[in-house]
Amino acid sequence: MADELKRGLEGVLVAESDLSYVDGEVGKLVYRGYDIEDLARGASYEEVLYLLWHGSLPTAAELDSFAVDLAAERDVGDDVIETVRALADAGERPMAALRTATSMLSAYDPDEESDDDGEATLRQGRRITAKIPTVLAAFERVRQGEAPVAPDPELSHAGNFLYMLTGTEPDAVSEETFDMALTLHADHGLNASTFTAMVIGSTMADVYSGVTGGIGALSGPLHGGANQDVMEVLHEIDASSKDPVQWVKDKRDDGGRIPGFGHRVYKVKDPRAKILEEKLRDLSESSGDTKWLDYTTAIEEYLTDQGLVEKGIAPNVDFYSGSVYDSLGIPVDMYTPIFAMSRVGGWIAHVAEYQEDNRLIRPRARYTGPEDSEFVPLDER
């Protein structure tokens, strides 16, 4: 009997991991046993990185040391910034610019020629994680005609990015919200980009190669681009002057789908969406502008009433993350790069974990091509 074909590796177990677990039936996400709600509300992104990379939550002293070491790696060399500037001037897409710059960073890593070992992987990973926000903020400022802002080592990972992006230190609500968003996106099992990074890591390639591959996988519209799609829909609704529910009804009557609903794993509302909905409320109350909150909650209520959730098509994290980022003043096409800025922590953790007991990932494909083809020499074809 022929081996059963599992398209998209649906349901295929390829590895064991201590890092994260997703229960799509009940809407649960855990990192190393800790519920995502507890981590998002009680831990900083730096604590979550430490947890993913080192296996436990840090003590206060361990966190202080880890955060200082991470902040010390934020500076990016002039050559990389000039490349970022050239990419921005050429009109390159942010994810493509990030992919190029991340690959270039390896040329300046002091561990690049070191022996392959887990500690070197984590040191390199720390540098990548620290520098990606600097690269992204510089890219956005350059294409807006502004000078890049140097990182501030006194600010948190989340606060520093918002500072480098805008030139102004964020208020407490904005910093806390963005920090939560980073935590919520840090890891999510063997999604497409994480699996890509892990496959590359299984060849014992360096972690820069794995992260660069992860960025490439995340850039696809079926993986990392849904939050941008949601925001573009909200802007389209706003421009139409239609009631959001009527707009959605018309869209569905025309055979269209609403981005931000449905997930490959979750059959109920994504637990990350619940948290970001709350933070969108906080931001809306802080700014006095509730438009996106009103739109998203009205759409969710309508689609829920239409029975989508009962069919396993519920709001995912992207349904609310776009509105949160917009409220923070982040441009729409930077949403997926920010996703990468967070998920890099998970990519690095999975590469390091898999390489501890490495086996080259090498699946098979069922051959369906012709058989016994007769070769004809070139001059007789």
d(CA 242, CA 224): 28
Query: Per-residue DSSP letters for 70-109?
Result: HHTT----HHHHHHHHHHHHTT--HHHHHHHHHHHHGGG-
Residues 135, 40 within the same domain: yes
Mean pLDDT of 241-250: 94
In a domain, 147, yes or no: yes
Dump pLDDT digits (tens) for 201-239: 999 999 999 999 999 999 988 888 778 889 999 999 999
Residues 307, 268 within the same domain: yes
Is 127:105 a contact under the CB 8 Å cutoff? yes
- Starting at the edge strand found earlier in the chain, the sheet holding 20-23 runs 20-23, 28-31, 34-35
Residues 175, 261 within the same domain: no
Is 134:167 a contact under the CB 8 Å cutoff? no
Residues 272, 198 within the same domain: no
In a domain, 336, yes or no: no
d(CA 40, CA 66): 19
Is 31:20 a contact under the CB 8 Å cutoff? yes
Residues 153, 277 within the same domain: no
Dump pLDDT digits (tens) for 288-301: 999 999 999 999 99
Q: Which amino acid is at 335?
A: Y
In a domain, 369, yes or no: no
Q: Picking from 81-90, 103-112, 183-192, 308-317, which range would have the lowest pLDDT averaged per residue? A: 308-317
| CATH code of the domain containing 234 | 1.10.230.10
Share of the chain above pLDDT 90, in %: 79
Dump pLDDT digits (tens) for 247-275: 999 999 999 888 888 887 888 898 999 99
Residues 150, 184 within the same domain: yes
d(CA 312, CA 178): 28
In a domain, 215, yes or no: no
In a domain, 150, yes or no: yes
Domains: count for the chain: 2
In a domain, 370, yes or no: no
In a domain, 188, yes or no: yes
Q: In this structure, what token pair is assigned to residue 172?
A: 């407490």
Dump pLDDT digits (tens) for 319-364: 999 899 999 999 999 999 999 999 999 999 999 999 999 999 999 8
Which of 363, 337, 132, 123 lies closest to 216, judged by CA?
337
Which of 152, 121, 66 lies closest to 350, judged by CA?
121
> Which residues form the catalytic set?
263, 318
Q: Name residue, tokens 């794995």.
A: 210
Residues 55, 98 within the same domain: yes
In a domain, 197, yes or no: yes
For residue 265, give its domain range: 226-327
Instruction: Please report, for residues 118, 242, 288, the alpha-carbon distance to residue 125 in angstroms, rounded to integers and kept in the order given.
Output: 10, 47, 39
Is 213:99 a contact under the CB 8 Å cutoff? no
Dump pLDDT digits (tens) for 46-87: 999 999 999 999 999 999 999 999 999 999 999 999 999 999
Which of 130, 109, 1 lies closest to 53, judged by CA?
130
Global confidence as pTM: 0.93
Residues 47, 173 within the same domain: yes
Q: Which amino acid is at 17?
A: S
Residues 275, 145 within the same domain: no
The pLDDT, as a whole number, for residue 1 is 41
Is 246:340 a contact under the CB 8 Å cutoff? no
Residues 196, 284 within the same domain: no
Give 177's DSSP letter: H
Residues 109, 56 within the same domain: yes
Residues 44, 189 within the same domain: yes
Q: Picking from 70-74, 76-80, 108-112, 176-180, which range would have the lowest pLDDT averaged per residue? A: 108-112
